[in-house]
Structure 1
């Protein structure tokens, strides 16, 4: 039997068997279109050299598309019912590659590098909208082995993750993501490929790991980012006053970093934020 993908009827049958009702709390919207998952795997540039980390595999639609292409797939699923069923679904639909699957019943926001049987090299996932940014940032920080990836998220979240400095959507997610990787939009995903159909549009976000822009501690740089965007309307001299200790000290650090005190956070690259953090440490 050749490997197969899940269609709409398969998704509903599996959900009925498991008495699974997609919940808003977990952000569950299951993909039931084979062409969409093929496109995701192709766009993610997954190869046989990759150990793919999939977060929130659900009923297994994307998992089944990943298994024939990847060296191995580690699926992290927080729902115990879905986690328990996934190996059987892989054996039924992808008998030729099911042995490549490892399922971890865990919360992706809490996993650590030591939890994985081998270091993941790629992240490919349909992420629950409400935790997409924290999950991606946590995994990039925790797993330096992750070199590239592609995630499907709410379209608005995709904009925020991939925004460039100077744009209205540039903020904490895009600045922090820039510490770890080059991030870009990789296309839209129509609502009709999901069950149930969500009331928001989705988009693909691709990333490739880069070296950090600074040797400054990441945590300190991220504190500067958080402070800069906590009060977006304020110029940096005022926005960073609490972090620096006073507006006067903030101005000193900004000038030492070559940043105008009257600039705003959305104008700065992650390298700019890093220089501000470095200035305080001197």
Structure 2
């Protein structure tokens, strides 16, 4: 009998609590806090993440910290290709065998890269279009910002991070959680909260709940200042959160007068605080400083 090419390949089997613990035991793995290793043991959670991410059959997905492969298996049946970046050599070398065992018909869709996502400079193969990951809690914001800067091909994504970090990333100007991560993420994308995840779906269970953050790429503000110049302004503005911008930017500008001139260029009240303004205004302040506008 000739196989019908229109019949879809068999989907993957997923990792539950027993499978995760068995894999860990076989690898002699003891999850470490240093690498933020908390493995998802609930198949419904990884299915939910894939659905919420909006990825489809045309997407090339970058996954950071695949661990034992729970989310990887869920992604493989929905997308064209997954590039999984894993820093732990034991996990990186074991993942292809796990995929071959649990999703043999889909194994050709995945490439594993043993690397530190914070230091990676290129991703092999076709440019990734989406980032979907359970990011290690201890480096989640730096990793996300690094990859957004490194890979302009990324059009959308969804990451699972510590709930408090999720709130910060998606916070709008004026909110209590708005800060440096909020502004820098907004430089690259429209960011929104996409749900919560209980600590009970992980092994070992972390001490905090997690949050889902979804984002869609957009062009950065159209100013003459560079991203680096804008981010220096953002860092300075929040270094002393409760102080007015004319004070927090004085050293960066070189003088109080130069700081006030740059704020005027952006149409920002010099008595405002960083938490009150958005990325467009930060970009205009940086542009004013770079142009050396006069008071």
Q: TM-score, normalised by structure 1?
A: 0.98
1:69 aligns with 2:78: yes
Separation in structure 2 between the aligned mates of residue 2 and residue 222 of structure 1, nearest angstrom: 44
1:176 aligned partner: 184
In the alignment, what sits opposite 1:266?
275
Choose the corresponding residue for 2:92, options 83, 91, 105. 83
The aligned counterpart of 1:34 is 43
- 1:255 aligned onto 2:264: yes
Secondary structure of the structure 1 residue equivalent to 2:105: coil
Q: How far, CA to CA, are the matches of 2:127 and 2:48 in structure 1?
A: 25
**In the alignment, does 2:145 pair up with 1:134?**
no
For 1:209 and 1:183, how far apart are their aligned partners in 2? 9
Distance in 2 between residues matched to 1:190 and 1:206, nearest whole Å: 17
CA distance in 2, matches of 1:167, 1:11: 39
Tell me by how many angstroms 1:270 deviates. Answer: 0.3
- Post-superposition CA distance 1:74-131 (Å, at most 9, x none): 0000000000000000000001111100000000001123x42221100000011110
SS at match of 1:118: coil
Q: Does 1:195 align with 2:203?
A: yes
How do 1:74-223 and structure 2 match up within 5 A? 74-113=83-122, 115-215=123-223, 216-223=225-232
Per the alignment, residue 243 of structure 2 pairs with 234
Alignment of 1:44-59 (within 5 A): 44-59=53-68
Query: What SS class does the counterpart of residue 96 from structure 1 fall into?
Result: helix
Residue 246 of structure 1: CA displacement?
1.4
Counterparts of 1:281 and 1:153 in 2: how far apart (Å)?
Answer: 35
Aligned counterparts of 1:78 and 1:119: Cα–Cα separation in 2:
20
1:17 aligns with 2:55: no
Residue 4 of structure 2 is matched in structure 1 by none
Report SS of the residue matched to 1:123.
strand
- Structure 1 stretches lacking a partner, 5+ long: none
The separation in 2 between residues aligned to 1:222 and 1:238, in whole angstroms, is 17
Cα deviation code 1:221-276 (max 9, x no counterpart):
00000000001011000000111011221111111221110000000100000000
| Distance in 2 separating the partners of 1:2 and 1:259 | 54
Q: Which runs of 5+ in 2 are unaligned?
A: 1-9
**Candidates 43, 47, 51, aligned match of 2:52:** 43
Distance in 2 separating the partners of 1:3 and 1:264 = 51
Question: Counterpart of 1:97 in 2: which secondary structure?
Answer: helix
Q: CA deviation at 1:281?
A: 2.2
